[in-house]
Structure 1
């Protein structure tokens, strides 16, 4: 046996307890031993002892203590990062065993913006529940502009949906599912919906519901107006809510720009809107919808099942919108 292996067995392997690692990770995330004790339903002295035992086993200081709480040292940050990965692998191992024992059950943790939760997710859930009714989906709302991949890196979600293509970073993988063009839509009772020919310039002074022009996809929409020599319209409403668009479009008084895949959602209850024959330019028509995962993380079987459903639905959407 090598000296290195002997050192691991004697100094670390036999001394590090899983519970102590769990306690340390909780303290690091809470930033306070008192809050960690409350979260774990144990006494603060028990928390202090677990951290001290772990520091003794490793031979380094993991936490800096101060009047404002605790913060990981450089050693602590490194151990926290690896510790989170270890517990994630353990969680996935338990999930895999449960799925192998009963393929009908399991949990998937998904980071998803509201816009995709309203368009891509419903048909995915319909397919998933039909094939695997026992699988539960836990959804974390993410930034509609740019997914925060830290949720992936700290293993709080298994995968994410996004509307921007790669690169997201060296540690993550981005797969383009389909390209979802932006389209101008008008209420069915609008005079614009009845016209065969209409230009963007004709619509500048109309009542608009638009995305903020300083953020995606509003940046691309502002560019589309600018490329045609037009200023960004004075929108009555600026925001991302598809539900609000749905409610306001029913009044017949507004125009809006949405992803093509959102049009069936707006028309779900009744025939509400029509797509106007307006080209918004390449940047607005080539926006990818992506699925984002960690490169060095093997998906559990239940996550693989979910991804399979997503790809199948994405293929159908791609056919519908021709992208």
Structure 2
């Protein structure tokens, strides 16, 4: 069947008014025109859609089915029109973004700046959390989108490829390892650590890597921010493990040395996480597309299929 939207709207009006005359008045049409539209619908359906009563009409069983679907179709079309109007006047909306520190310190600031320059009417709310907390927030609806390490269990969320980053060792000037350009994590374990927050994905990765190396992880201090970890290493409290983009800034200033790790797991993949791509609102979907486009340009080989 091919349905005419005007006829569907008229049928809904008739069903709500339960009277052809009142429906015609509401639609600003002649009663004969409304009656003709209903007759055409019934001819297409091959069954009566309205039961004629002495003082009006009521939908038949088939008419009730048509009424339910017609209302759904018309509601979706109104939503479509509203979204297109938003795009015509500039993208609007509010997006709640939760992300791990790795993404917030290396990639998101510049990408968010360019997104807001392009879409100034979008309001972004940004919070830093551990990977597990980001997944919980997105799953519960407290956040619209998140960025986590690929090692974080997604608990049924959709994971889209984002940037890859590399973990590096950070040691203070004058440290026995300071002249090394490359080393294995097992060698770093011979020295006391300045570690990250215990609940972070980085902390969990370090514990797993130490266990695999058969050596204890001696964490002298644990700090909640990358900046604090760098400052503690600069103060010779211990060595650390941090993303390349974080350590190289401090290394460029000469306050510590950044050393490449030879371990394969030091190369990490970040993911953008959503509850459902298809139901994301336009502002969220546009932000996700923007972030993925930047990551694709930075590392074309890093893009891959979505995960759950």
Secondary structure of the 1:287 match is: strand
Secondary structure of the 1:110 match is: strand
Unaligned runs of 5+ in 2: 1-11, 18-75
Map of 1:291 onto structure 2: 272
Asked if structure 1 preserves the Cα contact closer than 8 Å seen for 2:167 and 2:242, the reply is yes
- The 5-angstrom pairing of residues 18-57 of structure 1 reads none
Map of 2:228 onto structure 1: 244
Q: Within the alignment, does 1:139 sit opposite 2:138 as a pair?
A: no
CA–CA distance in structure 2, aligned partners of residues 150 and 199 of structure 1 = 33
CA–CA distance in structure 1, aligned partners of residues 284 and 145 of structure 2 = 8
Map of 2:179 onto structure 1: 194
Map of 2:150 onto structure 1: 164
CA–CA distance in structure 1, aligned partners of residues 82 and 142 of structure 2 = 15
Higher-Rg structure is 2
- The 5-angstrom pairing of residues 15-164 of structure 1 reads 96=83, 99-103=86-90, 105-142=92-129, 144-164=130-150
Asked if structure 2 preserves the Cα contact closer than 8 Å seen for 1:99 and 1:301, the reply is no
The offset of 1:290, in angstroms, is 0.8
Secondary structure of the 2:261 match is: coil
More displaced stretch, 251-260 vs 148-157: 148-157
Secondary structure of the 1:223 match is: helix
CA–CA distance in structure 2, aligned partners of residues 154 and 228 of structure 1 = 37
Aligned-residue CA RMSD (Å): 4.0
**In structure 2, do the counterparts of structure 1 residues 154 and 238 end up closer, same or farther at CA, with 3 Å as the change threshold?**
closer
CA–CA distance in structure 1, aligned partners of residues 127 and 234 of structure 2 = 29
CA–CA distance in structure 2, aligned partners of residues 191 and 173 of structure 1 = 44
Secondary structure of the 2:287 match is: helix
Asked if structure 2 preserves the Cα contact closer than 8 Å seen for 1:99 and 1:302, the reply is no
The offset of 1:291, in angstroms, is 0.6
Asked if structure 1 preserves the Cα contact closer than 8 Å seen for 2:163 and 2:299, the reply is yes
Map of 1:259 onto structure 2: 243
Secondary structure of the 1:298 match is: coil
**In structure 2, do the counterparts of structure 1 residues 199 and 163 end up closer, same or farther at CA, with 3 Å as the change threshold?**
closer
Map of 2:41 onto structure 1: none
CA–CA distance in structure 1, aligned partners of residues 198 and 91 of structure 2 = 45
The offset of 1:146, in angstroms, is 1.3
Asked if structure 2 preserves the Cα contact closer than 8 Å seen for 1:95 and 1:106, the reply is no
Asked if structure 2 preserves the Cα contact closer than 8 Å seen for 1:213 and 1:222, the reply is no
More displaced stretch, 153-162 vs 191-200: 191-200
Asked if structure 1 preserves the Cα contact closer than 8 Å seen for 2:138 and 2:274, the reply is yes
Q: Within the alignment, does 1:185 sit opposite 2:166 as a pair?
A: no
The offset of 1:307, in angstroms, is 1.4
Task: Count the aligned residue pairs.
Answer: 232
**In structure 2, do the counterparts of structure 1 residues 105 and 286 end up closer, same or farther at CA, with 3 Å as the change threshold?**
same
Secondary structure of the 2:178 match is: helix
The offset of 1:124, in angstroms, is 1.3
Unaligned runs of 5+ in 1: 11-88
Q: Within the alignment, does 1:274 sit opposite 2:257 as a pair?
A: yes
Asked if structure 1 preserves the Cα contact closer than 8 Å seen for 2:170 and 2:240, the reply is yes
Give the TM-score taking structure 1 as reference length: 0.57
The offset of 1:138, in angstroms, is 0.8
CA–CA distance in structure 1, aligned partners of residues 185 and 140 of structure 2 = 44
Give the TM-score taking structure 2 as reference length: 0.59
Secondary structure of the 1:276 match is: strand
CA–CA distance in structure 1, aligned partners of residues 105 and 208 of structure 2 = 26
